[in-house]
Structure 1
Amino acid sequence: MSVGTERIFIARLAGTNVLDPLGDQVGKVRDAVVVYRSTLRQPPKVIGFVVEVPGRRRVFVPIGRVTSIDVGAVITTGLVNMRRFVKRASETLVMGDLLDQPLMLRSDRSPVIIEDIGIEQQRSRDWEISRLFVRRHKGQRTPLDVLRRRGETLQVDWIDVEFPIDPTDDQHATQLIAAYQETKPADLADVLRELDTRRRMDVVRELSDERLADVLEELPEDEAIEVLEGVGLERSALLLETMQPDDAADLLGELPDEQAERLLQAMDSDEAEDVRTLLAYDDDTAGGLMTTEPVILSPEASVAEALAHVRRSELPAALAAAVFVCRQPLEPPTGKYLGLVHIQEMLRHPPHESVGALLDTEVEPLSPEAPTGEVAALLAAYNLVSVPITDEDENLVGVVTVDDVLDALLPDDWRDQRDEPKGDSADGTD
């Protein structure tokens, strides 16, 4: 095996492209897997990498299948087993388990936190942990202290530390969160699902409310409820307020009535009212699938104003594809629904033109009682990503997006099924 650099630091390697011998991309490095030796004074041995392949599935690539490691690319033999990676009890993840771990320097007994881990190839051709990039934390024990990066940084050998200071000590999750800072919520949800309960809650406590709300929308409902129960009533209410109302309603609908009511009482009254409205509809109807927070504008609004609304970073892509034009009031239930304007249509017209002149009126709105199948058929017939839902008075009460329809039509365990192997690996190994 050739080595691009003498020592490779794993946190810097995370996200690096994994290539086959022809230079085609296989996936991206997400973690390294190590196993401990007979004593902690011996550096752990690197046995392979966790690689994310297309389809957001994480697979294991043995170190023996790697021919070159560099910060720019990891080259493999091209033989990759596509079976989903499941960590064994004897294995440890560098990013998931070791980063942010508290240690103690043997030299002066001072506490440090691991910020990165260096690996090197030995004469035996084995790879092992050689150096630790650590930071003295001077006794600070809170996540905020670690996040502020106080204290001197230094590199030490594995044998220069005692590991850990205290097995019951909480591991801070700031490094893990930083490594997945640009990760899509669905991918971060997958990461959380693979962590043990304690580590998962460490990460949950460090995530911002906005980021965690996005992740909760991507978790299976039973696992999202487990997170809510772990963060307490006050933060649960904040998270539910931050989530899309339809996703919040889905979660509350899975809880006992008494518990759901406590959360609704703790939420902002306006946000809770939107969720209560959605809870009144059956799950398999347009009303049970819709969100009450589409982009709604009056017909006099300009194209420039409409584009400014759909450009908001916090707006889901499906809701940014169109604006819905109604008479006052513009909060659901609105005044009379007039039609929708697709973003492509807005881009074809000058900024000063009014959206009322660009209406698509061919898409007939559905009633809240329309079954899921009817919603799916309308989306397919008109190549839409969202469908307006109106009441008997032609007032807009919400919008159903294609992602929510897919979620309703797919089997309950679709998140697990997407990680199932499509076939055996080329070499038949595990």
Structure 2
Amino acid sequence: MSKADAGQVLATLFRRQSGRMTAALVRMLGVGRIDLAEDIVQETLLAALQAWHTELPRDPEGWLFAVMRNRVRDAFRRERVRSRVLDADTLPEETEAEAPREETADESADLLRMMFSCCHPALTDDGRTVLILRLVCGFGTGEVACAFLADRAAMEKRIARAKRIIADDGQLFEVSTREQARERMPAVLTAIYLMFDAGYHGSVVPEPVRADLCADAIRLATLLAASPATASAEVDALLALMYLHAARMPARLDARGALVPLEHQDRSLWDAELITRGMEHLGASARGGEVTTYHLEAGIAALHVMSPSVEATPWGKIADLYERLYARKPTPVVALGRAIARAQVDGPARGIDAILAIPGRERLEDYPFYWAALGDLSLRAGDRGRALVWFQRGSKAARNDAERAMFARRILECVD
């Protein structure tokens, strides 16, 4: 393994375990001591970096949790504090760093409690997502700031304010029954959905694809699906949606790093295993009879991945699903998807008219795929001049090099 590969493995391990350790520590120390929990996690990871410079221990995760428990004892000795949870009789025993460790159900429960606590009603949707990335997914302040195109200092203050809201609440949100989970379940699902969207569509990150954000979103939704208190048809629908989109990621960039639109993707590159998982979750989501926005979006994604080509895609069915989705979620982005699908059925001119008639269309002017759709439909209608204008506008709205490269290629199609 190269140094770069080893560094990536460590980074992924540290981020994943950071969330688990933070959730466990907040349970032990109390929600009012989130900052202390994070300090202990950072001390533990620093100790690992110093101790693992030559090779990994037999059980890296066990090593981290063992050192973490010892750091807790050190912290309480320094402060001479004995809390209700960690009194003299219940402090964790000194643990050998090489002691083997097994996964426990408590860890999943800790993560669920932390995730639901991060979705406090006093926080905005973005605030909840930021806090989940920081506390549950182990993202550093700089990474979260980068993900939301924010200044690091500003993000640090934003995270601090969000943590204060959680701390002032005084207790972790319990998720042991369905009744308890129901109160914050919509907010939790929204935060996970936004996290995946940020990774897949580049909605808040400078890279065209952030596979780590997508993987973390799927991991958190899988925790929900595995818990009797949170498993539901809606969770399965969200997992189906994410898996089916994630399956197309290997084909989203070409050899030069340009973003590849769906209609031009090499479908042989799509991940068959992820498609299978997505379809399994889509089947499971049919139980109960309720149809949510996640069901409808997953249905659209399924029709795309199950079609062998653009020409063989059942665009009429996709347009109908978009109609039902827009009735529940009347956003300009959904209206754009509906117009694009309808253009495949009724022709590019009708599609352009539908896009230009979208209510709140001005909100799409910073969305590069709005201009991409207008340019593509104009090109298909034979109007190269108009397409060129739309693609140039899209290039100005592009958020990363991959999107700019895509527009550069489309612009060349207009002038050749």
- How would you bin the TM-score normalised by the shorter chain? 0.3 to 0.5
**Given the two structures, how large is their TM-score scaled by the length of structure 1?**
0.32
The structure with the greater share of residues assigned to strand is 1
Specify which structure has the higher proportion of helix: 2
